[in-house]
Amino acid sequence: MKKSAQFRCPHCKSVLTKCEMDQVLGEAGSFMVFGQSTEICPACGNSIDRLSIVNGKYDIKDSAIVSTLKVIITIGVLILIIALLNHC
């Protein structure tokens, strides 16, 4: 499952961006974190566990409405492509 490049601070709910290494480790499904074990939120100054960040615990997820719209648009595009191919 693809993880988000952004996450919310569990303390102040600010939207933050993962560093490239945390993104790669999360996509690889790794459970080992290199370097510091915590990140400091630039907005509130509280520490955030990096392993939780890497594992996607605080990732920003699409709402049900956004997910449904993505499915509807994809189906609509596929129907349009099939209709255009049938006319050739």
What is the predicted pLDDT for the residue at 55?
Answer: 87
What is the residue range of 55's domain? 6-86
Identify which has the larger pLDDT, 3 or 48. 48
What is the predicted pLDDT for the residue at 5?
Answer: 87
How far apart (Å, rounded) are the C-alpha atoms in residues 15 and 8?
5
- 11 lies in some domain: yes
Q: What is the pLDDT of residues 23-71, one digit of tens each?
A: 888 877 756 666 788 999 999 999 999 989 988 899 988 778 888 898 9
What is the predicted pLDDT for the residue at 32?
Answer: 66
- 80 lies in some domain: yes
Q: Which residue has the tokens 């997820």?
A: 61
- 1 lies in some domain: no
What is the predicted pLDDT for the residue at 71?
Answer: 92
Q: Which residue has the tokens 């960040």?
A: 53
- Cβ neighbours of residue 65 under 8 Å, at least 6 residues apart? none
Mean pLDDT over 3-12 rounds to 90
Q: Is residue 70 classed as helix, strand or coil in its secondary structure?
A: helix
- 60 lies in some domain: yes
Q: Is residue 47 classed as helix, strand or coil in its secondary structure?
A: strand
Name the domain count of the chain.
Answer: 1
How far apart (Å, rounded) are the C-alpha atoms in residues 6 and 53?
9
- 23 lies in some domain: yes
How far apart (Å, rounded) are the C-alpha atoms in residues 25 and 44?
25
- 19 lies in some domain: yes
